[in-house]
Amino acid sequence: MVKRIEGGNCGALSRKRTVRRRADRRGCGTLLERLILTMMPFMVALMVSIHAWAKDDRKVHGVAAVVFMAAVAVVTSMVHFSILVLRREPPFAEMDWLFSFSWPSVVYVLDILAWDVFFPISFLFAAAVFRGGRLEKGIRALLIVSGVLAFAGLVGVVVGDMQLRNIGIVGYAVVFPASVVLIAILFRKSGLPDRNV
């Protein structure tokens, strides 16, 4: 009888642990994954807005910016959604070569492709849309700086030092938000370009 009670308690504890583990796996995930997944539609919408705002002779640059930002959104969303959903699942939990942000891993390589290749290409095309007044030149300069810094993050891959990749992070975590503020000011001031000009 004592053994049955102990066995019953152990079973209850085991069930509680299993429920807790399942809750952890389904759980919150990291803030970074959620933030990136939330940002992606807005970043694509920003490039669509830049394309809509562009004058006809610069529309091709706007389309290219949209295409490459969509590539960023698809690749980085797949990376971060996979991490959020699968990383803690038993078959994947030990696969650091797949789900770790330590070099080298599959998700790290894909994240670099999104943020240090597709992102800067998108921004350099977007920069080509902005010409003219002082505000437009400022936006153009920030977009170029952001793109060049993001490309520079690839140096870390080439030399095998991921600390050097932080150069790229400055491009999209510091310079990019500054460019968005100026773009918002420009769009608020000017609206869509006059097609009759």
Greater pLDDT, 41 or 17: 41
> Per-residue pLDDT for 179 more than 50?
yes
Greater pLDDT, 161 or 139: 139
Q: How confident is the model at residue 28 (pLDDT cuts 50, 70, 90)?
A: very low
> Per-residue pLDDT for 22 more than 60?
no
Q: Round to whole Å and give the CA distance between 6 and 8.
A: 5
Q: What is the pTM of this model?
A: 0.77
Please provide the DSSP assignment of the chain as one string. -HHHHHHHHHHHHHHHHHHHHHHHHHS---HHHHHHHHHHHHHHHHHHHHHHHS-GGGHHHHHHHHHHHHHHHHHHHHHHHHHHHHTTSHHHHT-HHHH-SSSS-HHHHHHHIIIIIIHHHHHHHHHTT--SSHHHHHHHHHHHHHHHHHHHTHHHHHHT-GGGGHHHHHIIIIIHHHHHHHHHHHHHHH-SPPTT-
Q: What's the mean pLDDT in 166-181?
A: 91
> Per-residue pLDDT for 72 more than 70?
yes
